[in-house]
Amino acid sequence: MTIPIDTEFVNYVDSFYGTNDPLYPMMNCETKQPLNVYDIVRAIHTYIERIEKGDLEYAHYAWGDGDSLDRERVRDILLEEYNYKYVPDTFNMADMQWVSQYA
């Protein structure tokens, strides 16, 4: 089974955690930059590899056509393996000035 990565799912993840007016903004702990589309796609690839590989640890993983569970699993990969963290609620994502406070 091949799972395609579509723009709609990438945008869906971005709308929650990236720079597209996110509900729960994330930033990279090393670079202090907001979550970018490149890392979203990389995390989606990691998730799909886990589904396709079928290791015992990820046996319960199944592609849900880009549903909220898929998004949350990609989020977990970003937090655990790509060194991202949530940005505190006190920052205004619209003007991106919060980045300088972490740089």
- Write the pLDDT tens digit of every residue in 18-48: 988 899 999 999 999 999 999 999 999 999 9
Confidence (pTM) = 0.81
Selected residue with higher pLDDT from 18 and 88:
18
Instruction: Please state, in angstroms and rounded to a whole number, the distance separating the CA atoms of residues 47 and 98.
Output: 29
Selected residue with higher pLDDT from 37 and 100:
37
Retrieve residue 60's tokens: 């319960």
Judged against a pLDDT cut of 90, whether residue 87 lies above it is answered with no
Instruction: Please state, in angstroms and rounded to a whole number, the distance separating the CA atoms of residues 79 and 92.
Output: 21
> Which has the closest alpha carbon to 77: 27, 42, 52, 33?
42
The confidence score (pLDDT) of residue 10 equals 96
Contacts of 49 (CB under 8 A, 6+ apart): none
The confidence score (pLDDT) of residue 47 equals 95
Selected residue with higher pLDDT from 41 and 93:
41
